[in-house]
Amino acid sequence: MASQTRPRALERIFSLDDFQRQARRRLPRAVYEYVAGGTEDTHTLRENRAVFEEHLLVTRVMRDVSRRSVATNLFGEQWSAPFGICPMGLSALAAYRGDVALARAAQAFHIPMIVSGTSTIRMEDVYAANPDAWFQAYLPGDIERTMPLVERVKAAGYRTLVLTFDTFIGASRENQVRAGFTTPLRPSLSLAWDGLSHPGWLAKVFLRTLLRTGMPHFENSFATRGAPIISATAIRDHAPKDHMDWERFSLIRESWRGKLIVKGLLHPEDCRIARDRGADGIIVSNHGGRQLDGSPSSVRMLPAVIAALESSGPRIPVMVDGGFRRGTDVIKALALGADFVFVGRPFNFANVVAGEAGVLHAAKLLRDEVFRALGMVGYNAIAELAHARDDGVLLAAGPAVRRL
């Protein structure tokens, strides 16, 4: 986007973290905490960032990197960068029709975007904005609603289905509740004041939504429209989910003929099982530190996951999310063996700051950082990063290194 047409809000945005600082001022505390927060004591939220400090990149010189490109092949598609946009629930509460803005920006930048199953925008509307988008589903607990949901995703036109498997037992939401955010959303004086004290968000997001489309509903949890977000029935699924096992996945695999990806895996054996039961790819993820507090970073688990897959059968694409904020973070994950990276909260905050233009700016910032770092470590192509450890480019920051 040309600098002369860039929104003024982006003039002082130089990194992904800058978006979060601006978004925090613009959003009501309840909405901000929903987007930014983690569970319980937020150990895993902090672990997702801390792990990147434990791996260092050693520059290589005099290696002619003038031909470098960060274009990346995934599932036969050449994307413009080695990263995409994570599924993020209730994005339209943070930015007006947030899912559509994310989808349009992803299509314009040519990176994959995953539509959330807890979006308040119909999956069909997001697909109309970006026919290359993927759809992420939280499986209903009862089988009677599972297959109709899959059929709806098919009918909408999606070719890639992402099943999230780390939410079958609900996480603690105490930090969100302290901030005033609950599901269902319960009107209160403090919540009203939270909105009134952020008039920009109140007018441009909440009231604009009410006037144009009415009270937001959970649109994509089932084959039919869900309840309004303020309804007592506005939970993803009344039926328990803790009984589900891999047979549910196999049932969907038999029906779904497109690409099928499993998200929310950390244990190497679960990744192997997913592949052996027909997954086309996996996303190693701890749900952005929003589920089990105290679980390891997905980046920390990458070497074990890849070793388990390579030692037991064919290699499928291994993607990863959680805590990515810099191009060097992306390079480190790819050098550890990941095929692709997904980024969540920063794109949501960019959407808050400047809508589609903000998301495009965030993608450009991150791509530029990846491009720069790729040259500094001495490679011309993303695929070459598989040799980074053998070339002495990637170091684990042990005690001796930390003392330097």
In a domain, 2, yes or no: no
In a domain, 139, yes or no: yes
In a domain, 4, yes or no: no
Residue 184 pLDDT: 79
Binding residues for glyoxylate, as ranges, are 34, 138, 173, 263, 287, 290
C-alpha angle 329-312-56 in degrees, rounded to nearest 5: 20
Q: Which range of residues forms the domain containing residue 129? A: 12-397
DSSP 8-class letter at 395: E
Residue 2 pLDDT: 43
In a domain, 88, yes or no: yes
Binding residues, as ranges, are 34, 87-89, 116, 136, 138, 164, 173, 263, 285, 287, 290, 321-325, 344-345
Residue 23 pLDDT: 98
Residue 85 pLDDT: 98
Give the CATH number for residue 306.
3.20.20.70
Secondary structure (DSSP) of 187-255:
--HHHHHHHHT-HHHIIIIIIHHHHHH-S-B--SSSSS---BTTSTT-SS-SS--TT--HHHHHHHHHH
Residue 230 pLDDT: 84
Q: What is the 3-state secondary structure (H, E, C) of 159-170?
A: CEEEEECCCCCC
Binding residues for FMN, as ranges, are 87-89, 116, 136, 164, 285, 321-325, 344-345
Secondary structure class of 136 (helix, strand, coil): strand
Q: Cα(166)–Cα(292) distance, rounded to whole angstroms?
A: 9
Secondary structure (DSSP) of 278-339:
T-SEEEE--GGGTSSTTPPPHHHHHHHHHHHHHTTS----EEEESS--SHHHHHHHHHTT-S
Tell me the average confidence (pLDDT) per consecutive run of 10 residues in the chain, 404 residues long.
71 97 97 96 97 96 97 98 97 97 98 97 98 96 94 98 95 92 85 94 96 94 89 66 94 97 98 98 97 97 97 96 98 98 98 98 98 98 94 79 43
DSSP tally for the chain: helices H, then strands E: 17, 12
Residue 137 pLDDT: 97
In a domain, 41, yes or no: yes
Secondary structure class of 47 (helix, strand, coil): helix
Secondary structure (DSSP) of 7-40:
-GGGTT--SHHHHHHHHHHHS-HHHHHHHH--ST
In a domain, 200, yes or no: yes
Residue 396 pLDDT: 85
Q: Cα(56)–Cα(336) distance, rounded to whole angstroms?
A: 11
Both tokens of 65, joined, read 């990197």
Q: Cα(83)–Cα(111) distance, rounded to whole angstroms?
A: 7
Residue 398 pLDDT: 60
Residue 234 pLDDT: 62
Both tokens of 389, joined, read 């450890």
In a domain, 404, yes or no: no
Using alpha carbons, select from 398, 295, 384 the residue that is nearest to residue 82: 384
In a domain, 388, yes or no: yes
Q: Cα(292)–Cα(342) distance, rounded to whole angstroms?
A: 20
Number of domains the chain is built from:
1
Q: Which residues contact 310 (CB under 8 A, 6 or more apart)?
A: none
Catalytic residues, by residue number, are 287
